[in-house]
């Protein structure tokens, strides 16, 4: 997964953040949803986050985080193929 602005800091991320904090991070480009259809999962502060009614929780399970990284990579590859095909038309 490519790095996003504001993610160079090695300080551990909190376990939970508010909706307002995540919304601000997305607006600034510091956080990125997994995809348009998976907006309840986002990459922020070098970690994956899942949305719940009270805010966002950091994914702390290493297997789940690894799986999300793999999905993000595959989605990026599919998006690149789709964009190339659209440009070739």
Give the Cα separation of 50 and 55 in Å (integer).
Answer: 9
Q: Where are the domains of the chain?
A: 16-88
Chain centroid offset of residue 5 CA: 12
In this structure, what are the phi and psi dihedrals at residue 87, rounded to the nearest 5 degrees? -75, -25
**Stated pTM of the model:** 0.79
State pLDDT tens for residues 32-73: 999 988 999 999 999 999 999 999 999 999 999 999 999 999
């Amino acid at each position: 997964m490519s790095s996003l602005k504001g993610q160079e800091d090695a300080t551990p991320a909190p376990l939970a953040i508010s909706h307002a904090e995540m919304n601000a991070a997305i607006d600034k480009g510091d956080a990125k949803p997994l995809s348009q259809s998976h907006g309840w999962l986002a990459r922020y502060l070098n970690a994956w986050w899942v949305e719940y009614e009270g805010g966002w929780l950091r994914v702390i399970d290493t297997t789940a985080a690894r799986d999300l990284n793999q999905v993000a990579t595959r989605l990026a590859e599919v998006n690149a193929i789709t964009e190339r095909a659209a440009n070739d038309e």
